[in-house]
Amino acid sequence: MRSLSILGSTGSIGVSTLDVVRQHPDKFNVTALAAGTDIALLAEQIKEFRPVAVSIRDEKSVKMLLDLCGEYKPEILFGVEGACTIAAMDGSDMVVSAIVGAAGLVPTVRAIKAGKHIALANKETLVVAGQLVSDLVKKHKVHLLPVDSEHSAVFQSLAGHRPEDVERIILTASGGPFRNTPAEELKQVKLEQALKHPQWSMGAKITIDSATMMNKGLEVIEAHWLFNIPAEKIGVVVHPQSIIHSMVEYIDGCVMAQLGVPDMRAPIAFALAWPERCTSGIPKLDLPKIATLTFEEPDLVRFPALRLAYEALKAGQTSPAVLNAANEVAVAAFLDRRIGFTDIATTVEKTLQAHDAYPPVELDDYLQADQWARAIATKLIA
């Protein structure tokens, strides 16, 4: 029996994780949950899974959650410290890190320091502070298991092979809803259009990142830290069907790929059960029905966010943290209809140009770079 604490339980990854748990009551149980503002859904999760403790974003929601819980009332915490307490709580073996954005960094670090194995769905943890997190994982001897479908695919394709035999990693991208949209039309993209992903069902922020291809850029940086692979050995190919989730090419020319229907329950189940496997509830792959798999080079002119991510990774130091923070601010502004679609990448690029990268040492160094970038991006948007 593996005991889980889930950070971001009411988001798309959290909901899918609990669905996998629901299918395997003999394998997994829920110790604690941390959520944002969806109090009603969290209350339903409490009734079903009966965690020892939960955390919500703000103190004002505590009484409301207590009223909704019914007979069973766990300990209720709140804020960043509440999420950190959930992450480090005794009684859990693994923490599913699924809080969206840089907000997931501090609780994930706390979990690692507490000796918890991590199922990582929060790519920003490695984007912002990859060196720090990698060092802590080694120091505390915990497993860091990828939940992103692309990195889970790479992890599975690397199994049984020597690192020195890897020629390159190839991350696949759906291309998002604007894969074939002419560049001159991207300035007129509406929010509703950008939120319609052709393959995956995700939260608003990640869906917009997919539309700009920043999500793939962040995944390139994540792959660098997860697999100790330099930027020049991490490729991206557009694969609209989203059936091949990523590939590893070896020095002998052979390519290993992991295939499956686009459903996040598969990589979640793999991470939760590793080194074993368990059923995930996803449909079986029907290749004759799919019939055709296609591939294209990504267009870095129409989608500069991917280029910016590569540049930030190569620049290193605090540049990736600045890239991520500026992007979070710009995406939030687009979701609020305060800027246009193409302004997202423009804001990120201008923020990076204004930044003098420096070598971070402590967690606070990364957080300071994050805050600096948010302030600059906010001014640029204003």
Q: Please check whether the two domains, 2-146 and 316-382, share a CATH topology.
A: no
What would the mean pLDDT of 150-170 be, rounded to a whole number? Answer: 97
Contact between 43 and 66 under an 8 Å Cβ cutoff? The reply is: no
Ramachandran angles phi, psi of 122, nearest 5°: -95, 90
Q: What is the pLDDT of residue 201?
A: 65
Say whether the peptide bond before residue 359 is cis (omega within 30 degrees of 0).
no
| Residue 129 to residue 127: CA distance in whole angstroms | 6
CATH number for region 316-382: 1.10.1740.10
Would you say residue 199 has pLDDT above 80?
Answer: no
Mean pLDDT in the chain? 95
Q: Tens of pLDDT along 49-89?
A: 999 999 998 888 888 999 899 889 999 999 999 999 999 99
| Residue 256 to residue 153: CA distance in whole angstroms | 9
Q: What is the pLDDT of residue 200?
A: 59
Burial of 25 (0-12, 13-18, 19+ CB in 10 A): exposed
What would the mean pLDDT of 193-198 be, rounded to a whole number? Answer: 82
- Residue 183 pLDDT class (50, 70, 90 cuts): confident
Q: Tens of pLDDT along 100-158?
A: 888 899 999 999 999 999 999 999 999 999 999 999 999 999 999 999 999 999 999 99
Choice among 64-68, 211-215, 368-372 with the minimum mean pLDDT: 64-68
Domain boundaries, the chain: 2-146, 151-264+283-300, 316-382
Taking the model in full, what pTM does it have?
A: 0.95
What would the mean pLDDT of 316-345 be, rounded to a whole number? Answer: 97
Q: How far is CA 45 from the centre of its chain?
A: 22
DSSP code string of 71-105: T---EEEEHHHHHHHHHH-TT-SEEEE---SGGGH
The tokens for 12 are 């798309």
E strand or H helix at 119: strand 117-120
Q: What is the pLDDT of residue 204?
A: 87
The tokens for 198 are 């052709």
Q: Indicate the CATH number of 2-146 among 3.40.1360.10, 3.40.50.1820, 3.40.50.720, 3.40.50.261.
A: 3.40.50.720
